[in-house]
């Protein structure tokens, strides 16, 4: 079983790589990191994820995976 921190590291690395490619090829596109509400309300309230979001200027979409709706757009 993976940890929330491991999953975050994977998602962050993938996000940053995608953003790098998009900045070179499609500058007008804006990339968001989609986060389930449970992870946002627990893990993303910790210091490291908050600092990473600020440092790397990550835009978030918080969604409900059960109802399949977007709950928040965070710039």
The predicted-structure confidence for 16-52, as pLDDT tens digits, reads as follows 999 999 999 998 999 999 999 999 999 999 999 999 9
Instruction: Say yes or no to pLDDT of 65 above 80.
Output: yes
Contacts of residue 43, Cβ cutoff 8 Å, sequence gap at least 6: 4, 8, 49
Domain boundaries, the chain: 4-74
62 pLDDT band (50/70/90 cuts)?
A: very high
Which residue carries 């995608």 as its tokens? Answer: 18
pTM value is 0.86
Integer Cα distance of 74 and 20 in angstroms: 20
**Phi, psi (deg, nearest 5) at residue 66:** -80, -50
* CATH code of the domain made up of 4-74: 3.40.1350.10
User: Residues 41, 32: contact at Cβ < 8 Å?
Assistant: no
């Amino acid at each position: 079983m993976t940890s929330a921190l491991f999953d975050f590291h994977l998602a962050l690395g993938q996000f940053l790589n995608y953003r790098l490619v998009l900045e070179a090829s499609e500058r007008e596109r804006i990339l968001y990191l989609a986060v389930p509400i449970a992870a946002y309300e627990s893990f993303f309230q910790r210091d490291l994820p908050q600092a990473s979001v600020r440092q790397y200027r990550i835009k978030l979409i918080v969604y409900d995976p059960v109802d399949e709706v977007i709950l928040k757009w965070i710039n």
